[in-house]
Amino acid sequence: MKKEVQVHSLFSEFDIYLFKSGKHFRLYEKFGAHPMELQGEEGVYFAVWAPSAKNVSVIGDFNYWLEGEHPLNVRWDESGIWEGFIPGVKLGDKYKYKIQSSVNDAKLEKADPYALKCERPPNTASIVWDLNYKWKDKKYLESRKETNSLDKPFSIYEVHLGSWKRKVEENRALSYLELAQELVSYVKECGFTHVEFMPIMEYPYDPSWGYQLTGYFAPTSRFGDPQDFMALIDAFHKAGIGVILDWVPSHFPEDKHGLGMFDGSHLYEHPDPRKGYHPDWKSLIFNYGRNEVRSFLISNAVFWLDKYHADGLRVDAVASMLYLDYSREDGQWEPNEHGGRENLDAIQFVRELNTEVYRSFEGVQTIAEESTSFPMVSKPVDIGGLGFGMKWMMGWMHDTLEYFKKDPIYRQYHQNDISFSMTYAFTENFTLPLSHDEVVYGKKSILGRMPGDEWQRFANLRLLYSYMFTHPGTNLLFMGSEFGQHEEWKFSGSLDWHLLEYDLHKGVKETITQLNSLYKKQPALHEKQFEARGFEWISYDDAQNSVLAYMRKGENEKKDLLVVCNFTPGILENYQIGVPRKGKLKEIFNSDAKELGGSGVKNEQVKTAPESWHGREHSVKITIPPLAAVVFQIL
């Protein structure tokens, strides 16, 4: 027996126009389940897009999951939207949409694409919820435009919430509220400026690490309610730490309750499998040429910045979106209208996304995980770029890790590998990533790649991080790498926190803490981190000694820094370095310091001499510690 579903709509004619033209970027205010009072009755307004449906009804624990008890009404305007107000439904009620397709008469049970909360997997129902929360981060948001800008420190700690730390006795991950205590204090202690969460949007399959989403508007229920996740972000903001969310607009899984074949048709995914199916991940690809799909995706990006106060989005797998032939053999893809391999619809979508994000939110950043040489990824849209704030520097990551895993005796033959990144370092606004992808699938941990005996392995690791933090660009480090995790990352377990009982591991963590402090305090390391004028080579061709020397420069030349790296285990004494002016060199960071686990080789304050070297009128003779980086100020 059909129950009363009152005709009601949150959509104006202008909303419908924007939605159908791909320009509605606040769809979460209209679609989904919205608790409200209508004509004196409490209930919930539901709205879902299903243009190929013959019938749509809401099923849930309020009607014993019976089809047809609460049928929705289809709008008259051919928008494909089904909607209606159901009295008596309340917060916490579970529901799905029962959709009968007009394509093949199939009956489908689908979770709400706009659900604010989902059942904890493996259960798949949506839950009526609201986002009422009293934020306490007004002061932080007001200062964000200044503190989150591209000329400020951006040191990111990448975290998988389910495996950062676990309650051993209960064999469970920490909740959002527990993380608000433990993770926030830890990130602050280490000195990172930002935290990045691997995807927290609801996902059904733990081994996907969150990159196969089914609940795009719902933080996963694994760790608590939406308000608990808000409290976690609030706590980070109180500590002055920005929050970046991994976001996945590139593909989605085929789970029956998800977006795939949503109304019996290819609604969200591209109908042509050459554009709509991802062979690597066995997943579906969004149809970026469909206006309503672009509205859905951009609304989702805006949602996390708006309702959850996120400070940035790291956009996953951008390369897979940009190229029609990505992971495809000849004959498995079709060129675009100009005969090229670029996905023109995806490119347009990305530009619209970044335009809207930067137009609507001050002080946020979007970061592209883009692994190819696609041009102008982090350049403004109005000059032909894709409009991202930053791009991951995958070439630096690959070349640097390849160099560091070599025995130091062979590094003299690979000097170009460690210096090559500077030939293209300023073509984009680069983030230097040592991410989760580098510590899985047999690649070993970062420490596990380092050659030599135990002391040398840790010295190499401290040197790698020192080189990373003094290289132009911003930085990202995956959890566990900051204290020298021995084993590869396992999504189902905890980091090996017991390692911090050992001095060498404590020394690595202290190295990261000191490097974060150096990065934040020294303007030469961040003011011009994306500009060629912020870097100057002193020496890059001493392959025999495997030494690099370079200047990092800010607005005030008196605060410029000299960085010298020794990639061999030998101490280099009386090593002559050209300097830009006369003065005294003061050592302000040394990765070989004893408190970091090093041998304690250091330089007392040394004076320059008027002797030409490295093309400069002044020079200085210093001692370079083994497998170490030293940073100097010229006083």
Q: Could you tell me the end-to-end alpha-carbon distance of the chain, in angstroms, rounded to an integer? A: 85
E strands, 533-571, in order: 535-542, 547-552, 561-566
Cα–Cα distance for residue pair 306/241, rounded to 1 Å: 17
Q: Which of 202, 234, 369, 428 is catalytic?
A: 369
Q: Which amino acid is at 219?
A: P
Q: What are phi and psi of 559, to 5 degrees?
A: -105, 10
Of 620, 430, 591, the closest CA to residue 518 belongs to 591
Task: Clarify whether 316 is annotated catalytic.
Answer: yes
Q: What DSSP character marks residue 609?
A: B
Cα–Cα distance for residue pair 364/309, rounded to 1 Å: 10
Cβ-contact 251, 284 below 8 angstroms: yes
Residue labelled with tokens 């009293």: 134
Pairing of strands 194-197, 32-38: unpaired
Cβ-contact 62, 93 below 8 angstroms: yes
Residues in the chain: 635
Q: What DSSP character marks residue 3?
A: P
Cα–Cα distance for residue pair 80/98, rounded to 1 Å: 15
Half-sphere exposure of 597 (CA within 13 A, CB side): 25
Q: Which of 269, 292, 316, 482 is catalytic?
A: 316
Cα–Cα–Cα angle for 180, 182, 184, rounded to 5 degrees: 55
Cα–Cα distance for residue pair 394/197, rounded to 1 Å: 19
Cα–Cα distance for residue pair 454/343, rounded to 1 Å: 48
Cα–Cα distance for residue pair 156/152, rounded to 1 Å: 13
Say what the alpha-carbon torsion angle 614, 616, 621, 622 is, to the nearest 10 degrees.
Answer: -80
Structure tokens at 215: 């609940």
Mapping DSSP to helix (H, G, I), strand (E, B) and coil, where does residue 20 land? helix
Residues that are catalytic: 316, 369
